[in-house]
């Protein structure tokens, strides 16, 4: 079988190198170009020695990358890049998966308010399919353009999904208290994510407003018959990978929550509902595309607590992107995504 030609735009960040890690282990993928304006000419494995022996390509200047000859192009770029280049690629028959936020939010005004720029291709926003397979599997299979979800939105939506679809909770006071490892901030230089600042330290950030709030709200609204009001508080925790979302809602009616969660995700290859009473650890999904979930009702009260963990770079970014690629190309959904989490 011919391999699929793959291009990666913006290969120097964490989602880029994670895409490389996963794609070199994918039996049907052939990486033909990895672009970086700043690092053009340098070998990818010189910047990321973990890839020595696995990736022999240099970074290519985006202008010379011939991305139109790829079958699939992943954008692992900052926000605002993919929206400028996607139309041309789609016109050339390339399928596009954007790991940034350019196509995630359907309401253009909302996007422009939170991302602080004008949107360059609103028409594509309408076409783009939000790439959360547990919600949109059928539509992803036929999509030309997939908007890969954010990391927090993945963990939070998968945790709330069974409750909202079943209409069990008061949707006017949903709370998502989320904790992320530092790689979630990207491989950019900011004082607050230096080792001596973020190490041995814990803090909330973005409480007045975080860009993932409208994305999560849009997703939750699509699952719910009643309007959504969400309080979302992200925190920075001194670990490298991992998101732990702790979700709170008030139950409107009694139900067997454990059964509900198990049934909802019974056929999902990457959502793992733990036994009643369990507490998922982020390390249990380190390097893997799984989301592990537990549901609790403390003191048998009317507050439900959902614990949802993912690896922010895998199910929260590159792994989910490969899962979407598998769906778009008709491969088994788990292809190239079956490695065992690294523990300890």
> Toward a copy of itself, which CB reaches closer, 80 or 341?
341
The answer to whether residue 70 is catalytic is: no
Whether cis (ω within 30° of 0) applies to the bond prior to 344 is yes
Q: Are 251 and 304 in contact (CB under 8 A)?
A: yes
Of the listed 20, 72, 151, 161, which one is catalytic? 151
Shortest Å, Cβ 328 to a copy of itself: 23
- In the complex, what is the shortest distance from the CB of residue 178 to a copy of itself, in angstroms, rounded to a whole number? 10
**Residue 137 Cβ, how far from a copy of itself at the closest point, in Å?**
19
Q: What is the end-to-end Cα distance of the chain in Å, rounded?
A: 37
User: 167 vs 269, which CB is nearer to a copy of itself?
Assistant: 269
Q: Which lies closer to a copy of itself via its Cβ, residue 48 or residue 139?
A: 48
Determine the Cα–Cα distance for residues 139 and 239; give it in Å rounded to an integer: 35
What is the strand order of the sheet 4-9 is part of?
Answer: 29-35, 4-9, 72-75, 95-98, 145-147, 129-130
**Minimum gap (Å) between residue 138 Cβ and a copy of itself:** 24
Residue 61 neighbours by CB under 8 Å, 6+ apart: 35, 37, 40, 41
Residue with smaller CB distance to a copy of itself, 19 or 147:
19
- DSSP conformation letters of 150-174: PHHHHHHHHHHHHHHHTT-B-TTSE
∠ CA 221-266-178, nearest 5°, is 45
How far is the C-alpha of 231 from the C-alpha of 245, rounded, in Å?
Answer: 13
- Catalogue the active-site residues: 151
């Amino acid at each position: 079988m011919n391999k699929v030609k793959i291009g990666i735009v913006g290969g120097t960040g964490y989602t880029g190198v994670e895409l490389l890690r996963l794609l070199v282990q994918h039996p049907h993928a052939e990486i033909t170009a990895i672009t970086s304006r700043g690092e053009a000419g340098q070998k990818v494995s010189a910047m990321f020695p973990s890839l020595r022996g696995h990736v022999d390509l240099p970074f290519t200047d985006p202008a010379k990358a011939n991305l139109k000859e790829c079958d699939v192009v992943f954008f692992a770029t900052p926000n605002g890049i993919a929206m400028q280049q996607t139309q041309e690629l789609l016109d050339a028959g390339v399928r596009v998966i954007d790991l940034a936020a350019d196509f995630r939010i359907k309401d253009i005004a909302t996007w422009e308010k939170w991302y602080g720029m004008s949107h360059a291709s609103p028409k594509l926003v309408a076409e783009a399919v939000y790439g959360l397979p547990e919600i949109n599997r059928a539509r992803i299979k036929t999509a030309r353009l997939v908007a890969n979800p954010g990391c927090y939105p993945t963990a939070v939506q998968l945790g709330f999904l069974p409750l909202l679809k079943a209409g069990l909770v008061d949707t006017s006071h949903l709370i998502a208290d989320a904790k992320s490892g530092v790689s979630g901030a990207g491989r950019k230089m900011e004082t607050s994510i230096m080792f001596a600042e973020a190490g041995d330290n814990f803090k909330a950030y973005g409480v007045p407003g975080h860009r993932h709030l409208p994305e999560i709200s849009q997703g939750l609204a699509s699952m719910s018959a009643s309007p959504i009001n969400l309080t979302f508080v992200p925190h920075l925790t001194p670990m490298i990978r991992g998101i732990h979302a702790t979700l709170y809602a008030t139950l409107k009616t009694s139900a067997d929550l454990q059964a509900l969660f198990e049934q909802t995700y019974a056929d999902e290859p990457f959502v793992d509902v733990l036994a009643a009473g369990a507490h998922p650890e982020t390390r249990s999904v380190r390097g893997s595309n799984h989301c592990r979930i537990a549901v609790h009702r403390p003191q048998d009260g009317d507050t439900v607590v959902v614990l949802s963990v993912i690896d922010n770079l895998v199910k929260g970014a590159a792994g989910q992107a490969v899962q979407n690629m598998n769906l778009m190309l008709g491969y088994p959904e788990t292809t190239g995504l079956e490695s065992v989490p690294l523990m300890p």
